[in-house]
Structure 1
Amino acid sequence: MQPLSAHIGTAGWSLPRETWGAFPPEGSHLERYGAVFNAAEINTSFYRPHQPKTYERWAAATPPHFRFSVKLPKSITHEAKLHGVDELLARFAGEAGALGNKLGAVLVQLPPSLALDAAAADALFAALRERFTCMLACEARHATWFTPDATALLREAGVTRVLADPVVGYAGAFEATAAPAYVRLHGNPRIYYSRYTPERMDEVRAWLARHPGSWCILDNTASGAATSNALELIGLADQAASPALSER
């Protein structure tokens, strides 16, 4: 199986016991995870701030090619609803920026109830672009974010629309707004729980092969399925159950 030119990983870096055979037996969870995957999504930043030294420690625990995506705090997206967030953005940038060149993307996930406010969105994306040089990805979930005007806004701002499964907020063709793309697989039909079939992972792998440099994050973590599905994407599923390591 040819290796993919893509950032593939999970939301967080938990290692369910049934997958231990695919990872080195020694080291922290993140060190073991980073020896196999080349990316991880930090979702805890959505709920609470992390000190810069925490981000520095995470960066130091991973190989040079490894990249993190960091989720924007809910205080900006869900509570302030993108308005009056300069101080919050400055704090977040000062924290997540400690990842240095390990910071590969900033993820902006918006609540399903948040309709597009073009002025607020423009201001947010401009402020993020002033502070970050990495990919900016937006997972909006209100129908107003999927109109031609919204697509044009994202393209002009240089923000890639997250390609999510299952889809929320729109019908019809799911149009990417920038390349490389950012894919989030939440679990389908049961969000956060369902494991994707090998056939579905083959489809995703074929898509990623046609879109080099893209991100693919497995977020079906509640049942531990994310790690197994991510291993399937990188062709290491058979190693996960190795009895030699799974009992360590």
Structure 2
Amino acid sequence: MRVYIGCGGYTDEDWTAPGLIYEGVKKDAFLETYAHHFDAVELNSSFYAIPGLKAFEGMVRKSGGWVRFAVKLNKVFTHVRAPTDTDFDRMLQSPEPLREAGMMGPYLAQFPYSFHRTAANRKYLALLTERFAGHELAVELRHASWDKPEVREGMGEFGIIWVSPDYPPVGGMPEPQVHVTGDVGYLRLHGRNRETWWEGQSAGERHDYLYNRAEMDEWAEKIAAVAGDLSELYVFFQNTTGGHALKNIPMLREALNARGVPVQTPEAHDGGRLL
């Protein structure tokens, strides 16, 4: 199993603080710097506006070929849920530079908690699956009504990746477990800040949480248990606030290596790049 580990986004201004990876780095060099530390990233900007071909070409160039990109679907697909044919065309075609460079990871469909398991929503998810056929699609379903073996079985039949989450223990959401629905796994670690999950005014507040070593060991055990069932696993830390993810990723790498799950880092490759 090849493990890719990175963060939800790469433009966090918190990381410019003294001692963190963007200290003294200009914003247009963030991605280049990020690529020296991590081999995967979840692209958040596409949720708000679908980047064009030239923007993706720039990502390929600045990352030097090292980073795998998981591209988040625009909100019109997951929150508005009224995508046009043009939206589908742009979402599918714009990341072509990533595919050509061998840097494309799964698409991520991040549905909100309000997206319950109803007949209408099941029908919509089937439509989305059909339109993204032939592409890896990871789906995060935040309401507990989806957290059932039969749902994951159906996703596996249609080639959809179940996003395994780690949420704060507030109830009503899927349990923190690694589930496998195909050859590729996808894990999102949101932190466990129960005080700000519902009341937080921003994603930064909701994800303001630093995992301790025991919690990283816990996830390493769960990952090791499915290592024989997957060819690839993507792990994305969402707790980028205050640089928490920058501290937790080395912990997880160490814990995985200790359990016989090898984790590659940029330093393991000649020149720190895949290409």
Instruction: Normalising by structure 1, report the TM-score.
Output: 0.79
- Tell me if the contact between 2:189 and 2:236 (Cα under 8 Å) persists in the aligned partners: yes
Q: Following the alignment from structure 1 to structure 2, what is the Cα–Cα distance between the partners of residues 145 and 19? A: 41
Match of 2:129 in 1: 125
- Tell me if the contact between 2:165 and 2:176 (Cα under 8 Å) persists in the aligned partners: no
Q: Deviations over 1:157-200 (max 9, x none)?
A: 11111111116534697743233311101111243111101221
Cα deviation, residue 5, structure 1? 3.4
- Tell me if the contact between 1:8 and 1:37 (Cα under 8 Å) persists in the aligned partners: yes
**Equivalent of residue 245 in structure 2, options 221, 226, 234:** 226
Distance 1:86 1:144, change over 3 A: farther
How many residue pairs end up in the alignment? 227
Q: Following the alignment from structure 2 to structure 1, what is the Cα–Cα distance between the partners of residues 113 and 193? A: 18
- Tell me if the contact between 1:19 and 1:227 (Cα under 8 Å) persists in the aligned partners: no
Counterparts in 2 of 1:48-127, with a 5 A limit? 48-80=49-81, 83=82, 85-100=84-99, 101-116=102-117, 117-127=121-131
- Tell me if the contact between 1:154 and 1:161 (Cα under 8 Å) persists in the aligned partners: yes
Q: Following the alignment from structure 2 to structure 1, what is the Cα–Cα distance between the partners of residues 83 and 21? A: 48
Cα deviation, residue 90, structure 1? 1.2
Match of 1:41 in 2: 42
90-99 vs 214-223, which moves further: 90-99
Cα deviation, residue 202, structure 1? 2.6
Moved runs in structure 1, 4+ residues, more than 6 A?
A: 21-27
Cα deviation, residue 57, structure 1? 0.7
Q: Following the alignment from structure 2 to structure 1, what is the Cα–Cα distance between the partners of residues 175 and 252? A: 27
**Equivalent of residue 7 in structure 1, options 4, 7, 27:** 4
Aligned-CA RMSD value: 2.9
- Tell me if the contact between 1:184 and 1:219 (Cα under 8 Å) persists in the aligned partners: yes
Cα deviation, residue 156, structure 1? 1.2
- Tell me if the contact between 2:21 and 2:33 (Cα under 8 Å) persists in the aligned partners: no
Q: Which sections of structure 2, spanning at least 5 residues, go unmatched?
A: 195-205, 255-275
Q: Deviations over 1:126-182 (max 9, x none)?
A: 21124x3xx321101123322344223211111111111116534697743233311
Counterparts in 2 of 1:233-248, with a 5 A limit? 233-235=252-254
Q: Following the alignment from structure 1 to structure 2, what is the Cα–Cα distance between the partners of residues 85 and 21? A: 39
Cα deviation, residue 119, structure 1? 2.5
- Tell me if the contact between 2:22 and 2:33 (Cα under 8 Å) persists in the aligned partners: no
166-175 vs 206-215, which moves further: 166-175
Match of 2:145 in 1: 144
Q: Following the alignment from structure 2 to structure 1, what is the Cα–Cα distance between the partners of residues 44 and 110? A: 10
Match of 2:185 in 1: 181
- Tell me if the contact between 1:198 and 1:232 (Cα under 8 Å) persists in the aligned partners: yes
Match of 1:158 in 2: 159
17-26 vs 70-79, which moves further: 17-26
Q: Following the alignment from structure 1 to structure 2, what is the Cα–Cα distance between the partners of residues 231 and 22? A: 17
Cα deviation, residue 95, structure 1? 1.8
- Tell me if the contact between 2:189 and 2:238 (Cα under 8 Å) persists in the aligned partners: yes
Q: Following the alignment from structure 1 to structure 2, what is the Cα–Cα distance between the partners of residues 24 and 38? A: 22
Instruction: Normalising by structure 2, report the TM-score.
Output: 0.72
Amino acid at match of 1:17: A
Q: Deviations over 1:6-25 (max 9, x none)?
A: 10011112434355469998
Residue 32 of structure 1 pairs with residue 36 of structure 2: no
Amino acid at match of 1:97: E
Match of 1:239 in 2: none
